[in-house]
Structure 1
Amino acid sequence: MSGQSKILAFVDIETTGLSPASCEMIELGILLYEYDEQLQTLTELDRYNGFEVPTYPIYPHITRITGITNEMVEGQRFNDEKVIELFKQADGIIAHNASFDRSFLLKRYSFLQDLKWHCSMRSVKWKEYGFVNKKLTTLLDAHGISREHAHRAMDDIEATAFLLQKTNPEGNMYLTEVLKKAMGKPKSVVKR
């Protein structure tokens, strides 16, 4: 692999709620891409999508948002071996609202604190470019990108990757903007 290529793990999770202290992941999606900076291309290398049954039943309002039912997750567990294999290949991780995904993922896969995290929601000057907000649905609609299911891990990841290959008003791929800004270490793991 040339020095101008990177392996990027695009990730998205669905959860039983907003707090990583009291809520759990119920869906995890990872798309591993090779990014060739010179040609500005993404090539899919591998993918994983899985469910996990939470400790407590999924609340109806979460099912309304995600479409994930208790029946879908019954008896399911994430394939940790596959998840770790994919993440260990990555030079960096990209997620839309990455601080949310990272807060849940670090509880289970603490080694992810050592990877560069990039946020496609906060690293692009979406509002300066004239978008009403930074929500994924808003940005996808504005770029004419459709997805089968909103708030489903793999659909959101594929749509995010497609969005980031579009160009900003300066003619650069949004992805180049995202990769220029890595998130800082989470406060709980900052070494003093």
Structure 2
Amino acid sequence: MNLERKLAAIVDIETTGLSPHECEMIEVAIVLCSYDAQSGEVIELVDEYAGFNMPSTPIASYITRLTGITNEMVHNHQLNDKKIMELFNKADIIIAHNASFDRSFLMTRYPELIEKKWHCSMRAVKWKDYGFFNKKLTTLLDAHHIKREHAHRAMDDVKATLALLTHKNPNGNPYFLEVMNKAMSKPKIKVNR
């Protein structure tokens, strides 16, 4: 059997808030994995990166309660932009759960990512048609008996998303295949005149 081997970057971020124009990333995690472009089967983990980023203003207490990330944890940390772009540049596709959120922050810092094919594991799969109550990552992980040590920590969420996508839908295909086959449209760029 011939594999059509390609690379996917699974990414998750944690931020100081919801607006990519007013808030900052405080954690980024990426797993680069190979997959068969015909079957959607994940072949192997190739590389990974996780890093903190100290924001320009202190992390609000509600963000710490949600993520567990404290100001002490991010103190004097910066993202390794070179490593992040190295992983993204190797990837044929980028996948995130609720990708429009992650993409908006990442493209603010790395505008060249607009040229990459983005895929959303939350919207590309017919989760509700398959009987799931909602599309939230926690709901889907619980339904598939996938454990993660810390919810809302970037690497735990990335690895849990990847584990979820290796499970099969009612048709016997990996969820990864559905995600892979439905790319997001490119975002519109606002031009200031």
TM bucket by the smaller chain? over 0.9
CA distance in 2, matches of 1:107, 1:30: 17
Deviation at 1:118, TM superposition (A): 0.2
Aligned to 2:51: 50
**Which position in structure 2 is the counterpart of 1:96?**
97
CA distance in structure 1 between the partners assigned to 2:155 and 2:118 by the alignment: 18
3-state DSSP of counterpart to 1:118: strand
Q: How many residues align?
A: 189
Opposite residue 128 of structure 2, the aligned amino acid is: K
Deviation at 1:152, TM superposition (A): 0.4
Q: How does 1:30-179 map to 2 (within 5 A)?
A: 30-37=30-37, 40-179=41-180
Give the structure 2 partner of residue 182 of structure 1. 183
Q: Distance in 1 between matches of 2:190 and 2:37?
A: 30
In structure 1, the gaps of 5 or more residues are none
Whichever residue aligns with residue 118 of structure 1, its letter is: H
3-state SS in 2 of match to 1:175 = helix
Instruction: Give the whole-Å Cα distance in 2 for the aligned partners of 1:104 and 1:34.
Output: 25
**TM norm structure 1:** 0.95
Question: 2:111, 2:55 → 1: CA distance?
Answer: 20
Is contact 2:8–2:33 with CA below 8 Å preserved after alignment?
Answer: yes
Residue 38 of structure 1, CA deviation = 5.1
Instruction: Find the counterpart in structure 1 of residue 27 from structure 2.
Output: 27
The answer to whether the 8 Å contact 2:3/2:38 transfers is: no
Q: Deviations over 1:115-137 (max 9, x none)?
A: 10000000000000000000000
Give per-residue Cα distances to partners, 1:1-24, cap 9 Å, x unaligned: x77111100000000000101000
> 4+ residue runs of structure 1 moved beyond 4 angstroms?
none
2:130 & 2:150 partners in 1: Cα distance?
26
Asked if the contact 1:118–1:182 (Cα under 8 Å) also holds between the matched residues in 2, the reply is yes
**AA of the residue aligned to 2:30:** I
The answer as to whether partners of 1:124 and 1:174 remain within 8 angstroms in 2 is yes
3-state SS in 2 of match to 1:187: coil
Is the Cα–Cα contact under 8 Å of residues 113 and 189 in structure 1 kept in the other structure? no
SS in 1 for 2:189: helix
- RMSD of aligned Cα (Å): 1.4
User: What is the distance in 2 between the residues matched to 1:3 and 1:142?
Assistant: 30
Which residue in 1 is equivalent to 2:12?
Answer: 12
In structure 2, how many angstroms separate the alpha carbons of the residues matched to 1:164 and 1:188? 30
Structure 2 CA distance, aligned partners of 1:85 and 1:48? 10
Q: Which segments of 5 or more consecutive residues in structure 2 lack a partner in the other structure?
A: none
Whether contact under 8 Å (2:29, 2:48) holds in the other structure is yes
For residues 38 and 94 of structure 1, the distance between their equivalents in structure 2, rounded to whole angstroms, comes to 17
